[in-house]
């Protein structure tokens, strides 16, 4: 057990879910701190029926803290994580800053739990779109070795933070009423629209969000030969990311085998009956920790290809849940070592 823990970015959208999950999953600890930037420090949050004052994120605040679970912008993570590690604290970080650092393990507990043992004080949780994709790829890779993935994402506005959700709601109301709306987050209207760009121009016409899916997938599976061709699209959906995937494996995986493999994978739920209209949809997957898979079918253009549809709550398994699961994995390792 970690005796003294902290939630960093405790007042944000993901931070709020982390607080809720620590309660729901009865995470073990003796004391807890809630930390945030100057803007939110001094506010209060409810936790286990008590009101807690949010403390300012400073180097000194990590004295005596054993574990920190953090969801902050990259620049904040770059600054505070070394403070925490210097005080002997282990950091589970949700930001993008540490993910591709060679010395920092990038972990999805159902996929590569062994990697957590290599940490040097910081453990990174992947990008939300990567997390649900590797959850789906894991059983296929173990059974038949994944060689290539073509993936198109349909990413909810909650992935852009609270302002993204405000933009969807405000922009939709304005569109219906024929009024103008000044968007906070998106460069183009998201109401009644799709935006085929998430992130900045990164590499040969691919965006930063798309390249995360390439590099993070290869790091998690420790296999740079896995080819990933992503297209990331922002859609007018409040929450839950959807992904259309075409996966090529070394040997053929039939639909029946794929269903069995997916069903046996921890954290994956198969919902796949086209005749009755049973398949995952964002509104049905909201506030769930699992990755839902449906529309499983053989690729008509490749002998070893498999196509399917995948939906997951990007704020839970794509962010908060995965971070808390990493922390639980650390607790298990500490307990086993005693």
Residue identified by tokens 């790829």 is: 137
Are 87 and 122 within 8 A, CB to CB?
no
Pairing assessment for the beta strands 50-53 and 44-47 based on DSSP bridges: antiparallel
Beta bridge partners of 297: 307
Distance CA 286, CA 221 (A): 27
Closest of 260, 259, 258 to residue 248, by C-alpha: 258
What are the tokens at 124?
Answer: 């990174």
DSSP assignment of 279-331 equals ---HHHHTT--SEEEEEEEE-SS-TTEEEEEEEE-TTIIIIIHHHHHHHHHHH
Which residues are tagged catalytic? 128, 241
């Amino acid at each position: 057990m970690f005796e003294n823990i902290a939630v960093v970015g405790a007042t944000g959208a993901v931070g709020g879910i982390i607080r809720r999950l620590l309660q729901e999953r009865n995470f073990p600890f003796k004391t807890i701190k809630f930390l945030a930037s100057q803007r939110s420090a001094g506010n209060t949050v409810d936790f286990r029926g008590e009101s807690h004052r949010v403390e300012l994120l400073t180097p000194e605040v990590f004295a005596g803290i054993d574990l920190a679970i953090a969801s902050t912008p990259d620049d904040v993570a770059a600054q505070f994580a070394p403070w925490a590690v210097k005080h002997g604290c282990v950091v589970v970080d949700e930001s993008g800053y540490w993910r591709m650092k060679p010395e920092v393990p990038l972990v999805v507990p159902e996929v590569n739990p062994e990697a957590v043992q290599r940490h040097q004080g910081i453990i990174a949780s992947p990008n939300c779109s990567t997390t649900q994709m590797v959850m789906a790829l894991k059983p296929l890779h173990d059974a038949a070795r994944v060689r290539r993935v073509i993936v198109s994402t349909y990413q909810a506005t909650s992935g852009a933070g609270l302002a993204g959700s405000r933009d969807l709601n405000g922009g939709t109301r304005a569109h219906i009423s024929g009024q103008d709306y000044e968007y906070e987050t998106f460069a183009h209207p998201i109401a009644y629209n799709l935006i085929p760009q998430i992130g900045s121009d990164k590499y040969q016409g691919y965006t930063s969000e798309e390249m995360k899916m390439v590099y993070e997938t290869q790091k998690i599976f420790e296999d740079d030969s896995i080819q990933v061709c992503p297209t990331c699209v922002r859609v007018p959906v409040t929450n839950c990311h959807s992904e259309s995937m075409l996966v090529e494996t070394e040997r053929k995986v039939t639909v029946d085998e794929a269903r069995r493999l997916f069903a046996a994978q921890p954290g994956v739920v198969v919902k796949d009956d086209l005749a009755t209209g049973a398949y995952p949809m964002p509104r049905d997957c909201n506030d769930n920790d699992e990755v839902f898979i449906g529309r499983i079918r053989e690729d008509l253009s490749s002998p070893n290809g498999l196509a399917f549809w995948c939906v997951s709550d990007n704020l839970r398994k794509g962010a908060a849940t995965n971070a808390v699961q990493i922390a639980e994995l650390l607790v298990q390792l500490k307990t086993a070592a005693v």
